[in-house]
Amino acid sequence: MTRNMFGTDGIRGTANKFPMTAEMTLMLGAAVGRHFRNEHQGVHRVVIGKDTRLSGYMFENALTAGLTSTGMNVLLLGPVPTPAVGLLTTSMRADLGIMISASHNPAEDNGIKFFGPDGFKLSDAVEAEIETLVETGVRPAHPENIGRAKRIDDGRFRYQERVKSTLPQGLRLDGIKVVIDCANGAAYRTAPEVLWELGADVVTIGTEPNGLNINKDCGSTQPQKAADAVLRHNADVGICLDGDADRIILIDEKGQVADGDQLMGLLASSWADTGRLKGGALVATVMSNLGLERFLDGKGLRLERTKVGDRYVVETMRKNGFNLGGEQSGHIVMTDYATTGDGLMAGMQFLAEMVRTGRKASELTQVFDPVPQLLKNVRFATDSLPLDQVGVKAAIAQAEADLIGKGRLLIRKSGTEPLIRVMAECEDPALLEQVVDGIVAEVQAVA
C-alpha cells in the first residue's frame, strides 16, 4: 500500500489541511485504537502528550474522540517533551503513546507521532496497517465499552525525575551558568526546572509560549538568540532545544554553535574510554559529516549509517545492540536511558562531561574537524516530482562524476516537509558550491 499519511517521523502538515485536519485525526484515532485493541487483550490505555501549538487542543480532542470510540482509555499529559511520552507509555503500562507535535516546524504546522507499548516509535509496517484501517474504516465499540479520558497532572514531574537520574550519583551543576532556549515549546517548564534543581545558574529563552510562537526566531534551528545571550550573560554553555525537545544544539562560551555530530563524537569517545559504548559503534544517518567518521575511525570505533530519521537510527541500534546514536540535526538517542531522541538528557550528558573533565564547552564541542559540507533546501509544489525530471537527473549525474574521489553527494526528499534537500561534502569549497548550486538551479526550474 502507498504511504499517503506517514512520513519519516509520523504524520505532519499544515493544520486544517490534509492530513492534519480534525476529521482525519478523528479517523486516525479510531484506526490506531482499533489496531492496538486487536493486538492486546485486557484494559486498554493510551497516553497523549502535546507541545504548545494552538492547534494542539483541536487534535488532542479529535484523537481522544476517535480512541475512546474504540474502547481505549485516554490519559492526557498536556505539554510535555516527546521523550516523556515514550517514557510514560512504558511506565504507565499503556498500549500506545501519542505525541502531538510538528517538532521544529513553524506554529501553523502540526503532527502526530506514535509509540508502541515498548516506548519505541512504530515500524513502517505498523504504520501501513493503520493507514489501511483509516481507508477502510473501523467498527466502534459497543456503548458500554466506550473508553474514558483523564488528565494526568504529574507526568511532567515523572519525566523530570528520570532526566535527573541519568546523571552520575551525586553530581551537581553548581557554578555552571547555562542559557537554555526552549523554543517556546514543550520543555518550557521542564528544562529550566531540571537545570535549576541540579544547581545550575539558569538563563531562559523561549519559555513564554502563546500557541503561535513555537520555534519562532529561537530554538535549535535558530540558535543565534541563545548565542547572543551566552555572550551577554557570560554563560558557560548554551543549550537549544526544538519545539518538542527531542533534539539539541549546543553553544560554547564563545558563542560558537556545535551540531549533533560534535556531541555524538564527544559522547562516543568518552563512553568508549569508560567502557560504556556497546558494540564499539555509533549509529548515525547518511547526513552526518565525513569528519565524524574519520574521527571515530581514529579511535578504533565504527560509524554505522542509516537513512534519515531518528527511528531508523533506533531500529539499527536495537537490532545490533548499540546504545548510542543520533542525527546531525541534534537528535541524540541513548537507549540506556530513553527510547527516542532526547535533547534534555543529551544536554545533561554534556554538562556531566564538563563537570567530570573540568574543561570548557569550547574544548568539548569541537572534537573533530568537519569536512566542508553544504546543504540547501528547495521547496517544491506538492503535486510535482522534481527528482524525476530529465534536467535534474542530468545535473545529479554530473555532480556525482565531479565528486568521484573528492567527496560525496546526497539528494533526498524530506519526509516531513515539501523540500528537496541537496547536500554535498568536499574538501574543495569551490567545487562544493558548484555541484550543489547546479542541482539546486535545476530543481528550482521544475519545482
Cis peptide before 143 (omega within 30 of 0): no
Q: Across the beta sheet with 177-181, what order do the strands follow?
A: 201-205, 177-181, 237-241, 248-251, 257-258
Q: How many CB atoms lie within 10 A of CB 382?
A: 7
Catalytic annotation, pick one of 55, 69, 103, 269:
103
Give which of 444, 311, 328 is closest to 389, Cα–Cα: 444
Residues 6+ apart with CB under 8 A from 397: none
Cα 39 to Cα 11: distance, rounded to the nearest angstrom: 22
Provide the phi-psi class of 311: left if phi over 0, else alpha when psi is between -120 and 50, else beta: alpha
Backbone angles phi, psi at 249, to 5 degrees: -125, 135
Give which of 91, 107, 116 is closest to 99, Cα–Cα: 116
Give which of 260, 305, 259, 257 is closest to 281, Cα–Cα: 305
> Does 103 qualify as catalytic in the annotation?
yes
Q: Are the CB atoms for 289 and 327 separated by under 8 Å?
A: no
Cα 163 to Cα 166: distance, rounded to the nearest angstrom: 6
Which cell is 96 given?
A: 500506545
Q: State the Cα torsion 148-243-417-125 to the nearest 10°.
A: -40
Q: Scan for cell 574519520, then name that residue.
A: 294
Residues belonging to the active site: 103
